[in-house]
Amino acid sequence: MTLEPMTGDAPAVTVRSLTKIFGGGATAYTALAGVDMDVRAREFLMLVGPSGSGKTTLLSILGCVLSATAGSAVVLGRDVTTMKPDELPAFRLQKIGFIFQGHNLIAALKSRDNVALVQELRGVPRAQALKDADEMLVAVGLAGKEHSLPGDLSGGQKQRVAIARALVGAPPIVLADEPTAALDAHSGHAVIELLKALTQERGTTVICVTHDPRIFSFADRIVNIEDGLIRPDDGSHS
C-alpha cells in the first residue's frame, strides 16, 4: 500500500506572512518575520541560510511539530497553522516523511522494524509492512542489513535507514533538516544523491535544510533565509 503522490501542478506548500515569535515580553524572539514561500509539487528545494536564521523553525511549522504565531502555511492543500492539535499526528503520519540531522532511529528496533513501524501505524498489516520495509532498505542500498540494530550500523548506513523510514509508503512530502551534517563528505554526498534519486522517481516533494555547499548541486531550487525572512534575490537553478 502506498500513499498517492501529488499530481498536477498544485503547489505542495504555500507559505504566506508566516511569523514565529518565541517567548513573550522582553525576551520575545522573532524567529520568522513574515515568510512567503511556494514549493511546487515534486520539487527538491534546499533551504539555506546562516545559523539562527529560522530554517529549522520554518521546517518545524511545515512539519506540524511547531505552532505558528501568525500567517499561514498550506501543506498539500491544508493550512497546518489552523489544524486542531489532535489532527496533527495523523497528518504527519500519512503525509510527511521526516529526516533529521541525527538518524533518530529507535535503538532497540532492527532496521526493518524501524522502517516497518511507520507503515504499521498507517494500517498496513505487519507482513506487508515488513515487506515494504525490506524493499525500501534494498532501495537505499542496505540489502542484508534488515536485521541489524542501529548500533551495529555506520553513520551513513543509519542515515540510509532513516531515509528508508521517511520514504516508505511514499509520503508526498519529505522534510529534511541537515541530513548530511553528521556525516563525512563522502557519505553525505552518497546520502543526498540517494535521497534525490529516490524522491525523484517517486515524485516526492522535498524541502531540505542544509549548510553544506557541496550538496547544493542536487537542488532544483535554493531558497535563502536570513533573519527570519526569505531573501528576495532568490532565484531558482537546476
Partner 1 sequence: MNTELPPARRAMVMMRVGITMMLKDRARFVGTVAGVVFAVVLAAQQLGIMFGLLQKNTMFVDSAAADIWIAPPGTELFQPGQRVPASTIDLARTTPGVHLASPLVVGGGTIKKPDGGNEGITLIGTDTSTWLGGPWNMVAGAREAILQPDTMIFETADREKFGGLNLESIREVSGHLVHVGGFTWGLIPFGPSYAFAEIDAARDMLGAASNRVDYVLVTVEPGMQTEEVVSRLKARMPDLKIISGPDFHTAIVTNLLKNQLGMSFGLSTSFGLIIGLVIVALSMFSSVIDNLREFGTLKAIGCTNRDLTALVLAQSVAYAVVGSLVGLFLVTRMAAGIRSARLVVITPAWLTGLVPIVMLVLCLLAAVLALYRVRKLEPGMVFR
Is 109 a binding residue for partner 1 by CB under 8 A? The answer is yes
Nearest 5°: CA angle at 56, between 196 and 165?
Answer: 45
- By CB under 5 A, the count of residues binding Mg ion is 1
Of the CA atoms within 13 Å of residue 150, those in its CB half-sphere come to 18
Q: Which does 18 bind (CB under 5 to 8 A by kind): Mg ion, partner 1, ligand ATP, none?
A: none
Nearer to Mg ion, 57 or 205 (CB): 57
**Helix, strand, coil % in the chain, rounded to nearest 5:** 40, 25, 40
Nearer to ligand ATP, 52 or 77 (CB): 52
Give the integer Cα–Cα distance in Å for 76 and 41: 9
Q: Which one of the spans 33-41, 76-84, 89-97, 222-230 is the region binding partner 1 (CB under 8 A)?
A: 89-97
Is 40 a binding residue for partner 1 by CB under 8 A? The answer is no
Contact mark string toward ligand ATP, 52..81, x via CB under 6 A = xxxxxx------------------------
C-alpha cell at 106: 529507535
Q: Which does 53 bind (CB under 5 to 8 A by kind): partner 1, ligand ATP, Mg ion, none?
A: ligand ATP
Is 98 a binding residue for partner 1 by CB under 8 A? The answer is yes
Exposed/middle/buried for residue 16 (C-beta within 10 Å: 0-12, 13-18, 19+): middle
Nearer to partner 1, 92 or 202 (CB): 92
Instruction: List the one residue out of 108, 107, 132, 104 whose CA is nearest residue 118.
Output: 132
Among 33, 66, 138, 182, indicate the residue that binds partner 1 (CB under 8 A): 66
Nearer to ligand ATP, 43 or 178 (CB): 178
Instruction: List the one residue out of 36, 14, 23, 21 whose CA is nearest residue 69.
Output: 21
Give the integer Cα–Cα distance in Å for 172 and 176: 13
Instruction: List the one residue out of 222, 234, 236, 228 whose CA is nearest residue 47.
Output: 222
Binding site for partner 1 (CB under 8 A): 1, 3-4, 56, 59-60, 63, 65-66, 86, 89-90, 92-94, 98, 100-102, 104-109, 113, 117-118, 120-124, 126, 165, 169, 177
